[in-house]
Amino acid sequence: MRFRSRGVVSAIFLMAAAFLAINAQYVRASGVLILGPSTRAYGMGLSGTADVSDPSNAFYNPANISFINGAYLTGFYSKLVPDLADDVYTGNLAVAGGTRFRLGESYELGLGGCLRYQKLDYGEWGTFSGGTASSSEYVISFSLAGGIKINKIFNLGIGLSVKPVKLDLAPAWSTPDGESRESDGTASDFGILLGAELPIGEEFTFSGNIGLSYLNMGSDFEFQNWFGTISMPSATRYGIGIRLESQPLTGNEKFGPLFTLAFNVDKLDHTSEADKGKSDESSYGAEIGFLRMLFLRIGRWKYESGNIDDKTFGVGLGVELESFLIRLDWARVPQASNLDNVNKFGLITGISF
């Protein structure tokens, strides 16, 4: 953790790390479980509970990949608090895929999965002995989802994620008492998605989804001589996502629709004992896309306890021709207090079946 004021000793680091963990954005220890990996969702106000347009939104609701039809690789990177420390960052790499099966004339089954590695790195810091040590958190998530679609109109999906996580906040040799600040745990998510897709004349298709997810269920993180216990950051998310899409140009699927318009609304309730005193979060955002190549996004994120109530912005630029997709995403997101907004970067590439 390279602070702009050097010579930080271990005791000061421990206090600073705790401050960052509690106050930087909405991050605290075990923040790797609550830092979303979707740059697209950040641009739309951190909303994605009922948005199936991006496989990264399995983070908000594992049921979002119930009807994924293809194979995708996604990546994400962001510095967390560049105003305070230049080497504190979060990043993730994930693969997601799925397919659909026809059952007669009226039913279609979907099956999707996602494997994600995510890291929250608190950077390097000075120890009493004059050396440097580092702190980080890791999580590997395994998500599986399935769903059924009736008459190509109504659909129901359910999903489950299992997330082994490790908090490695300080090695034993770097602490005054010779005890490491490490803890392991396993979190799990469960999500439901209800949706419908309806044609509007011959020019447009309208789809709407309602999502509900229970996030980060699991036991608390136990430390031997520091912090004592850190509660699992459990929460409940509710969301609505709607999408309006024009028909492909001149019926040619190669170039896709002329435009798409999406709108998401999310609500998050904190459910763990440690977080019940915090205000709940709400967010909403919109996206307009042109030829599935240029996407403009705007949203708003409100989190009273984090002193955040501000706009988010985002842009996506890429190519989607026939079954191939590659897109780069950027978002600008507010932080707590008087800190400057922070940049988020993402990549998605894949093929659809």
How high is the pLDDT of residue 227? Answer: 56
Distance CA 129, CA 12 (A): 14
Q: Is 11 helix (H, G, I), strand (E, B) or coil?
A: helix
Q: For the ranges 7-16, 220-229, 309-318, 320-329, which has the lowest average pLDDT?
A: 7-16
How high is the pLDDT of residue 131? Answer: 76
Domain locations in the chain? Answer: 10-352
Distance CA 88, CA 78 (A): 9
Mean pLDDT of the chain: 85
The more confident residue out of 317 and 227 is 317
User: Is residue 19 within 8 Å of 132, Cβ to Cβ?
Assistant: no
Encode pLDDT of 261-307 as tens digits.
Answer: 999 999 999 887 666 666 789 999 999 999 889 999 999 999 887 78
**Once rounded to an integer, what is the mean pLDDT over residues 193-211?**
92
How high is the pLDDT of residue 158? Answer: 97
Q: Where are the extended beta strands (E) located within 218-305?
A: 221-222, 229-230, 235-246, 259-270, 281-290, 294-303
The correct CATH number of 10-352 out of 3.40.47.10, 2.40.128.130, 3.50.30.30, 1.10.150.20 is: 2.40.128.130
Distance CA 3, CA 17 (A): 11
CB count in 10 Å sphere of residue 84: 17
Encode pLDDT of 152-174 as tens digits.
Answer: 899 999 999 999 999 988 887 77
Q: Is 79 helix (H, G, I), strand (E, B) or coil?
A: strand
In sign, the C-alpha dihedral spanning 200, 198, 300, 59 is negative
139 pLDDT above the threshold of 90: yes
Tell me the β-bridge partners of 20: none
27: phi then psi, degrees, rounded to nearest 5: -95, 145
pTM of the model: 0.88
Listed as own residue / partner, the contacts of 289-292 with beta carbons closer than 8 Å and 24 or more positions apart are 289/259, 289/260, 289/261, 289/262, 289/316, 290/258, 290/259, 291/249, 291/255, 291/256, 291/257, 291/258, 291/259, 292/256, 292/257, 292/260, 292/320
**Once rounded to an integer, what is the mean pLDDT over residues 98-115?**
91
